[in-house]
A = this chain, B = another copy of it.
Amino acid sequence: MTLPPLLLALDYGGTKHTAALLIRGEQVWLAQARAYSPPGADATYDQATMLRLARGLLAQNPGRLAAIGVSFGGPVDAARGIVRLSHHVPGWEETPLRDRLQAEFGVPTAVDNDANIAAFGEWRFGAGQGCASLLYVTVSTGIGGGWVLGGRVYSGADGMAGEIGHIVVRPGGAPCVCGKRGCLEAEACGPAIARAAQERLALEPEAGAGLRDRVGGNADAVTAQHVAEAAAAGDALAAEVLAAAAQALGAGLGGAINLMNPERVVLGGGVTKSGDRWWQIVRETARDHVLPQTRVQIAPAALGDDAPLWGAIGLAEAHA
């Protein structure tokens, strides 16, 4: 009996690490293993954890490992397979992750950052299949993006392409973690929606009853999900806050579409679960910002939280 060719996907999140095995050419996972880092974990700990997960999977599933694809939650020099740093975990500075894994497992390995990998996953297996040019944007606790152009991840001169979250859409607007004001991320990500709602509730004690009810009157507990739910249930304050965030996102996407005219834009992340009205405003605002000859095709992501794992499989496949 010939052993099946296996592809291994590794997803180094901030504190959540996942390894997954696929038989090459199949569309369903053969096995997955996941582990969480304790507080205070460093790069050495996380690498040991992932090695244990990967070895365990390979020991339990007969096959011939063909290649490894790796998604890393932080800046990566993809051409050299080097992790530049992690914004969350100490000790990752300039780690030659690709070469370490190649030495460990003896197969071709490719590494890229999570936004690029998720974009590639949606292009290869999800909502961007067949697109000659794809912008993937995740709208979550932050806003990031990745490009797939001509069937390959496009990561720019410094691996920094896709930072759509830090385009200024409202000069002088909300302060952003990057130090600027009015960045798309500061106007449209989940925490931005929650903060905007909290500020309005504090200023308008008579408004937002539907939203207040959802948090037992404790405005500090409001999340973007509460805002979306209250807006869907008819709360006017929540609807206005959500609409402003959707408009900011539409404006940012419109700018990106004017600049690059991608065949499709795919949106993922928790905030994209904010309901039909949110989607409608995002699409209409983007359309209003774009020259008439330019297509505006904005679609929901298909792979959810698994996009980085599928993207890692796509990378592994391309290198096997």
Specify which of B164, B166, B254, B261 is in contact with A158 (CB 8 Å cutoff): B261
Interface residue stretch chosen among A30-38, A224-232, A291-299: A291-299
Chain A interface extent, by class = 35 or more
Determine whether A214 belongs to the interface, using a CB cutoff of 8 Å to chain B: no
**Closest-CB distance, A39 to chain B (whole angstroms):** 27
Residues of A33-61 at the interface with B, using a CB-CB cut-off of 8 Å, are none
Closest to A164 in B: B259
CB of A156 within 8 A of CB of B251, answer no
Chain B, Cβ-Cβ closest to A182: B171
Is A163 among interface residues, defined by CB-CB distance under 8 A? yes
Q: How far is the CB of A167 from chain B (nearest CB, A)?
A: 4
Contact among B84, B157, B260, B290 with A261 in the assembled complex (CB-CB below 8 Å): B157
- The complex is assembled from copies of this chain, and their number is 2
Chain B residues whose CB sits within 8 angstroms of the CB of A157 once the complex forms: 132-133, 261-263, 295
A170 beta carbon closer than 8 Å to chain B:
yes
Q: Which residues of B contact A160 (CB under 8 A)?
A: 258, 261, 291, 293-294
CA distance A255 to B295 in the complex (A): 20
Contact of A258 among B159, B164, B295 (CB under 8 A): B164
Q: Take A171-B251, A260-B156, A261-B156 as given contacts and tell me if A291 and B166 are in contact as well, using a CB distance cutoff of 8 Å.
A: yes
Contact B291 A261 (CB under 8 A): no
Contacts A167-B258, A171-B170; is A156 near B133 (CB within 8 Å)?
yes
Q: How distant is A77 from chain B, measured CB to nearest CB, in Å?
A: 11
User: Chain A contact residues: over half helix, strand or loop, or mixed?
Assistant: loop
Q: How far is the CA of A156 from the CA of B294 in the complex (A)?
A: 9
Contact yes or no, A167 B259, CB < 8 A = yes
Partner of A259, one of B150, B162, B289: B162
Chain B residues whose C-beta falls within 8 Å of the C-beta of A261 in the assembled complex: 155-163
Does A207 belong to the interface (CB within 8 Å)?
no
A154 within 8 A of B: yes
Please list 16 pairs of residues, one from A and one from B, whose beta carbons are closer than 8 Å in the complex, sorted by A's number.
Answer: A133-B157, A156-B261, A157-B295, A158-B294, A160-B258, A160-B261, A160-B293, A161-B260, A161-B261, A163-B291, A164-B258, A169-B171, A171-B171, A255-B255, A256-B259, A259-B259
For the complex with contacts A157-B295, A260-B260, 8 further pairs of A-B residues with Cβ separation under 8 Å are A84-B293, A156-B263, A159-B261, A160-B291, A163-B291, A163-B294, A171-B171, A259-B259
| 8 interchain residue pairs of minimum CB distance | A156-B261, A157-B263, A161-B261, A167-B255, A160-B294, A160-B261, A163-B258, A166-B258
